[in-house]
Amino acid sequence: MAFKALGELLDEALQLPVDGTLYTVPAPSAAVGLRTQALINAAATAADGGQVDEQVLGDAAERDLYRDVLGSAHDEMVAAGVTWPALKHCAITAMVWIAQDKDAAERFWNAAGDPNRLAPNRAARRSPSGAVTSTRSRGSTSGTSGPKAKPHAKAKKPR
């Protein structure tokens, strides 16, 4: 058995429909992919309250990241007069594609970038009777009231 040519295995373009036109976002260079991945990791770290690598964020801010992730589709969109929100949505979708995969990019695109619309389908959370169900988190109950736990019997000392 031999390795197949990588070009036969990878779908190296993203097709984005905007205002009746299908724009093709080509696969980014390795450098753009690595920089995008570093930027997304830095943003996730910052969102979690962690220490942010200012060098990574500074480098990304110095370059035209949207142009880089959209490739030739960027200039086509600008020339066609695509709106800023549409261009931004296309660029962030491309970033999700680069950092994760095409399925994640498609979910982001179809949710219009709204994190609430990325949540599991409401029907999947309903019980057979149609009532919405929820599972209580086992997280902190700080600031909430609830039944007090009964004290556990003392454990026996090991011999």
Stated pTM of the model: 0.65
pLDDT at 137 over 80: no
- Which residue would you say has higher pLDDT here, 90 or 136? 90
pLDDT at 72 over 60: yes
- Which residue would you say has higher pLDDT here, 39 or 57? 39
Q: In the chain, pLDDT over 90 holds for what percent of residues?
A: 40
DSSP 139-157: S--TT---PPPPPPPPPPP
pLDDT at 107 over 70: yes
- Which residue would you say has higher pLDDT here, 118 or 43? 43
Q: How confident is residue 9, by pLDDT bands cut at 50, 70 and 90?
A: low
Handedness of CA 67, 72, 78, 83 (dihedral sign): negative
